[in-house]
Amino acid sequence: MGYNRQQTIMRKIFTLIAAIVSLNMIMPQKASAQEELDNVVVGDITYFLADYGNDLLFAGVGYFSYDLTGHVVVPETIDYIWPDHGNTWQVRAVSPRALNQYHNITSLDLPSGIYSVNDDSFSESETLNSLIIRAEVPPVVYDKDWQEVSDCYLFTPLNEPVTVYVPEGSVQAYKDDSNWGKATILPLSEYQAIEQTPSPLRGETERGSKLLRNGILYIEMNSKTYNAQGIEIK
């Protein structure tokens, strides 16, 4: 692992610590943090956890493994047994720099319970082009100090524009939001699930990059682009 990549991981660790300290700022006002817990790894994602009492067990996405590529789905809940707390945690937030220039994630699917993200959760990514958000209410956006921001650019403008897919009845709410409205917002009905990769490229996609563009699945492999039927796109 290179020196710059080690520095990135250390920055993530310190950012996670700051996030845990500030969890009470990113939850609904009726909840107050009761106990903040350590970071845990479930699958290929590191989460930070907090127990808010009243059976409200909170998980936030800290960062993704560098082994993840293509399409990644963040679950609604994670199962992690913590004595005296519980074992099912609802995923509610995405931390700063969850994606950076070392990741090769092209599309990210966030669950309906997502309540907040950071203004640079995705901005360092050089590969992300599709973001699926299943939350009906646009997530609140915070800065690095966990202060709410009303006017920021969530995605780097230097790369291919990121398309955001949201629930059918929430398209206008996202478009009207001062942060999310800067991206291209489309309904989930126009999203074609990566899992439907057909047989012509089945098995090969693990060596390539799966990506969505305007709801259409493409595979990039060996410097060539293929459609869902395995036909090369010139």
- pLDDT 10s digit of each residue in the chain, 234 long? 554 555 454 455 445 544 544 445 444 443 444 566 678 888 899 998 887 765 667 888 998 999 998 889 999 998 887 777 777 888 999 998 899 888 889 899 999 999 999 998 998 888 888 899 999 999 999 987 778 998 888 887 655 678 999 999 999 999 999 999 999 999 988 875 444 444 444 444 444 566 666 556 667 776 777 765 566 776
Q: Select from 132, 146, 114 the least CA-distant residue to 211.
A: 132
How far apart are the C-alpha atoms of 21 and 107, rounded to whole Å? 29
160 beta partners: none
Other Cβ atoms within 10 Å of 224 Cβ, number: 11
pTM (two decimals): 0.70
Position 205 scores a pLDDT of 45
Residue of 210, 145, 136 lying closest to 15 (CA atoms): 145
Residue among 60, 123, 120, 66 nearest 96 (CA): 120
The pLDDT value given to residue 193: 46
Task: Give residues with Cβ within 8 angstroms of 27, minimum separation 6.
Answer: 33, 52, 58, 92, 115
